[in-house]
Structure 1
């Protein structure tokens, strides 16, 4: 990756991501270590501390960033805005004078931010957005965001372990100004700034540690495919079509519903479902988890769908990925199987109840 050819491939993947996403010309983008988690924590460890921070968390990952700020960075002024699974906190409580951190799409709850109307364009602090399962599938106003992070293995269907970070000019300035003032230890993989400046190419092709060039090649291939079908608008359209297929099914179902409380906050990538059947709701929490897993393991056994359990800490149910790399015809083929598996498990529990 330090060779001329290696740097050219890293520059290419950065350029292609920037083009497909339609980023502003003066924004910078590049590959960093440790997936989306590494990218978010890089931003937190190198930029925070000069202003109070408003952090919004409504599922496990967003709440994890709150934990990082309070427990590990021990920031003195952190305002925590939380909501339960299926809900969204009051985003209007964001103070534009503060730094703001939020997750665009809650992967473990299926709840997304509907838009950025709550965020003024001329905010004084920096806005850090964990966009890992939203980017490439949802329309995003990048001009309002200073740091955007994601990983290739979500909507691009790429390989894991690599993160991507997007920086606005304001974010770069903050990183450079904050560098000499940081009071906590900063791991080497987070140290992008050299000699107080984020040098040209330092993010785009000169990675801090060794990336997998196979993963880079795979990402380039995915981006070429994205460009060939019409870029970001086409990716958004595909994800929306997949969600629409699920919505048509849910509207006719007497046993399943979306975990997200309203349509406007419903994710079109990590779709989370709750089971609303009476017999299921009467079960103890532990038994609900077992029953939901019986449904999903039937589908696993048949080779229909793998690992579609809800996230461990989320309410018992089903979670299906339906981002842009998934065909709508496959979602339409899946829903009768979900009904079949549910009926089989419902009958089993009905027999137990009779006993």
Structure 2
């Protein structure tokens, strides 16, 4: 039986990416050595990181004046990096979920934080709108996709101040205008690589403006000056990242990824809206995520929740259990999810409906 990985992260990767990484871990670049045991200072690995950076810039059309970094520590560490490097007096944050809230908490250690809007009162079932971004803020922070609650910002924001975006779970899934962002960051373990590497795209002229002394490892300029090689980078996840970037390019680039993301989401949301056994959790349909599709049993079918989860799992639907803050189910349809996987889940939902009708 074929399995489809709907896990929220670490998550599905293209099969050719997994195979290439596995082979490199046995022997890398005809060196007679494993990728896991070579020095990151070798010209062989330097070629990997150089190509990975070049592909990020190519696929996202990153303009001049921006640097691309591959760091350790996960996106959660960037909650600290960002204000350490950019917050001098005041920062603005949009609170759209758990990860945005955690970013706010860290930023408050460094200066004044204005929460321009929050969806907390409605358990983050929508993206707040019609808020005011303070023109005197050092930056405005957003989380573009909220994995737990299934909401997503589908368009770039016009802002009077630099926008900082946590794009951990939707990077490379839609076309973005990088010029509208001062800094983009995210954990790679959803649309880009295995767990262990964090990507950062930062506008160089924003750095070096804060008055506080910066620890060497927390200063973005340290890593820019050494091409992400100031200390040993996460070698294997960066190699996997390179393979994924090559795969995205071979599939038609980010526009092709966006087209497929919309097709997968439309297919599954249509079934959720049609099927009387289920309902979506996001209250504003325009805010529905294309990456993390959250749904629960209909109010009069709650007692069937565990049964459906077991039913779907037995048919190869892996990782569809919803986050505890929302409950129900979550189908993560990242770039590597084939349309066949979503069709299989839809057929499973229809089969369950027939079984109980």
TM-score scaled to structure 1, two decimals? 0.80
Retained in 1: the 8 A contact 2:272–2:295?
no
Alignment match, 2:90? 52
Name the CA distance, whole Å, in 1 between partners of 2:194 and 2:71: 14
Specify whether residues 26 and 76 from structure 1 end up closer, same or farther in structure 2 by C-alpha distance, changes over 3 A only: closer
Retained in 1: the 8 A contact 2:49–2:238?
yes
Name the CA distance, whole Å, in 1 between partners of 2:353 and 2:306: 10
Which one is further off, 211-220 or 328-337? 211-220
Name the CA distance, whole Å, in 2 between partners of 1:292 and 1:242: 23
State whether structure 2 residue 187 is matched by structure 1 residue 154.
no
Cα deviation for residue 240 of structure 1 reads 1.0
Name the CA distance, whole Å, in 2 between partners of 1:340 and 1:67: 45
State whether structure 2 residue 261 is matched by structure 1 residue 239.
yes
Retained in 1: the 8 A contact 2:127–2:151?
yes
State whether structure 2 residue 156 is matched by structure 1 residue 116.
yes
State whether structure 2 residue 287 is matched by structure 1 residue 265.
yes
Alignment match, 2:20? none
Cα deviation for residue 162 of structure 1 reads 0.5
Alignment match, 1:284? none
Retained in 2: the 8 A contact 1:52–1:78?
yes
Name the CA distance, whole Å, in 1 between partners of 2:81 and 2:283: 32
| 1:45-69 Cα distance to aligned partner (Å, 9 max, x none) | 2221x23221111211111111222
1:191 to 181, 197, 219: 219
| 1:69-91 Cα distance to aligned partner (Å, 9 max, x none) | 23xx1523433521032111235
Name the CA distance, whole Å, in 1 between partners of 2:171 and 2:82: 17
Name the CA distance, whole Å, in 1 between partners of 2:107 and 2:296: 31
Q: Which consecutive residues of structure 2, in runs of 5 or more, have no partner in the other structure? A: 1-39
| 1:9-59 Cα distance to aligned partner (Å, 9 max, x none) | 2121111111111212322111011222233432222221x2322111121
Alignment match, 2:316? 304
| 1:262-321 Cα distance to aligned partner (Å, 9 max, x none) | 2321111111113323242xxxxxxx7xx6444324433x151222111122x2221111
Specify whether residues 323 and 213 from structure 1 end up closer, same or farther in structure 2 by C-alpha distance, changes over 3 A only: same
Name the CA distance, whole Å, in 2 between partners of 1:228 and 1:263: 32
RMSD: 2.5
| 1:178-220 Cα distance to aligned partner (Å, 9 max, x none) | 2xx226x85x5423334xxx754x3xx3334322322222211
1:104 to 118, 139, 144: 144
State whether structure 2 residue 78 is matched by structure 1 residue 39.
yes
Name the CA distance, whole Å, in 1 between partners of 2:293 and 2:217: 33
Alignment match, 2:167? 131
- What SS does structure 2 have at the residue aligned with 1:54? strand
State whether structure 2 residue 355 is matched by structure 1 residue 333.
no
1:177 to 209, 227, 230: 209
Cα deviation for residue 343 of structure 1 reads 7.5
Name the CA distance, whole Å, in 1 between partners of 2:201 and 2:243: 20
| 1:66-121 Cα distance to aligned partner (Å, 9 max, x none) | 12223xx152343352103211123532223312111011111111113235x23x
Q: Which consecutive residues of structure 1, in runs of 5 or more, have no partner in the other structure? A: 281-287, 348-355
Alignment of 1:267-306 (within 5 A): 267-280=289-302, 292-300=305-313, 302=314, 304-306=316-318
Retained in 1: the 8 A contact 2:125–2:283?
yes
Alignment match, 2:27? none
State whether structure 2 residue 53 is matched by structure 1 residue 25.
no
Compare relative contact order (CA 8 Å, sep 6+) and give the higher one, 1 or 2. 2
Alignment match, 1:13? 52
